[in-house]
């Protein structure tokens, strides 16, 4: 799972100026990882972060908390939902490992 999180971050760091390219790459990569994991719970964990993380950021942007350099829609980059999905999936995966061995 560390590889998943690291590769997601690397794609964004390298391709942040090409947001649609990074979104396509991340979308394909994330689909492959979710199919490989074969876990409904982790899929819904990913989906939760994918939807609610960017929503929280849009609300913060509307409140004037911060801005993004290259926003595409509602003040956020198009790759941001993938980053939130990856973060929640990684956290959910490690929580599931921890509870598995308790």
Residue 74 domain flag: yes
13 within domain boundaries: yes
Residue range 4-22: mean pLDDT, rounded: 94
Least confident of 2-6, 18-22, 93-97: 93-97
Instruction: Flag whether 102 is in a domain.
Output: no
**Domain span at residue 8?**
2-97
pLDDT digits (tens, 9 = 90+) for 18-62: 999 999 999 999 999 999 989 898 899 999 999 999 999 999 999
**Per-residue confidence (pLDDT) for residue 100, from 0 to 100:** 64
Give the count of domains, the chain.
1
The residues, any chain, with a CB within 8 Å of residue 9's CB and separated by 6 or more, are: 83, 86
Q: How far apart are CA 58 and CA 68, in angstroms?
A: 11
């Amino acid at each position: 799972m560390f590889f998943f999180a690291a590769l997601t971050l690397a794609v964004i760091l390298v391709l942040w100026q090409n947001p649609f390219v990074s979104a396509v790459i991340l979308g394909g990569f994330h689909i492959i990882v979710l199919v490989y994991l074969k876990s409904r719970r982790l899929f819904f964990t990913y989906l939760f972060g994918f939807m609610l993380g960017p929503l929280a950021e849009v609300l913060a942007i509307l409140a004037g908390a911060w801005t993004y350099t290259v926003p595409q829609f509602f003040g956020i980059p198009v790759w941001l939902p993938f980053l939130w999905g990856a973060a929640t999936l990684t956290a959910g995966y490690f929580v599931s490992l921890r509870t598995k061995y308790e």
